[in-house]
Amino acid sequence: MMAIDQIVEQLRNMEEEELQQISRLIDAKKRTYQQPLAFLQEVMGFCVLPKTGETFMYRMTIGDDLLNRYGIVHGGVLTTFIDTAMAETAFQLDGHLKRAVTLNLTVNFVKAAVEGGLRCAITARQNSHKLALFAAEIHDDQDDVVATATGHFYKTAHAESPPAESAPEGQA
């Protein structure tokens, strides 16, 4: 049996809501060629919220597929949410940035997250040409703190500035 036939067979008995979710995941997979984290962000229900003062805000939706065997959001998922939000903040702070790489990330888990949505508030504690330090707080829909974190990011590959005009020969 060909892969497409196997996929179609598996889809036959699924509910409409599950089929819609699979369709969104397929679309996100296709977008990964231009937007590398599109698939992961779709799985998390990741979205950028309006900035509040100097705080950058993000949201993710807790789905059953993000819960661990104890029925709470897997710690790795929370860490990925924070890491993704911090990197997105680096790009928002520095519009010509082409790459931000996590140097370290320390996460403190405060409360179990089990359903609804999570908001991640990111503040820049330091932001230079090459390094950024961020602090994060994740809140659940009851506004309880679920996790806190700090992370350093190394910023590289800034867009080239236009070359300065060279001085006429003989002048410096």
pLDDT tens track for 147-166: 999 999 999 865 554 444 44
Residues 125, 142: one domain? yes
**Domains in the chain, number:** 2
Cα–Cα distance between 132 and 46 in angstroms, integer? 22
Cβ atoms of 120 and 137 closer than 8 Å:
yes
Cα–Cα distance between 8 and 18 in angstroms, integer? 14
> Which residue segment(s) compose the domain that 16 sits in?
11-43
Residues 87, 111: one domain? yes
Check which CATH number belongs to the domain holding 147 and give it: 3.10.129.10
Q: Flag whether 6 is in a domain.
A: no
Q: Flag whether 166 is in a domain.
A: no
Q: Flag whether 169 is in a domain.
A: no
Q: What is the token pair recorded at 131?
A: 């390094």
Residues 15, 66: one domain? no
pLDDT tens column, 42-82: 888 899 999 999 999 999 999 888 899 999 999 999 999 99
- Is residue 135's pLDDT more than 50? yes
**DSSP per position, 123-146:** EEEEE-SSEEEEEEEEEETT--EE
Cα–Cα distance between 49 and 46 in angstroms, integer? 10
Residues 76, 108: one domain? yes
Question: Can you give the pLDDT at residue 160?
Answer: 53
Q: Flag whether 113 is in a domain.
A: yes
Reduced to 3 states (helix: H, G, I; strand: E, B; else coil), residue 164 is coil
Q: Where are the beta strands (DSSP E) in 29-116?
A: 47-52, 55-61, 99-109
Q: Flag whether 25 is in a domain.
A: yes
Residues 39, 75: one domain? no
Q: Flag whether 164 is in a domain.
A: no
Residues 27, 92: one domain? no
Q: What is the token pair recorded at 103?
A: 């140097």
Q: Which strand (E) or helix (H) includes residue 29? A: helix 16-31
Range name among 30-39, 62-71, 107-116 with the lowest pLDDT average = 30-39
Residues 85, 54: one domain? yes
* Distance set, CA 28 to CA 9, 47, 87, 119, 143 (Å): 22, 13, 19, 22, 30
- Sheet containing strand 131-140, edge to edge, reads 47-52, 55-61, 117-127, 131-140, 145-156, 99-109
> 56: closest CA among 78, 82, 28?
82
Question: Can you give the pLDDT at residue 157?
Answer: 67
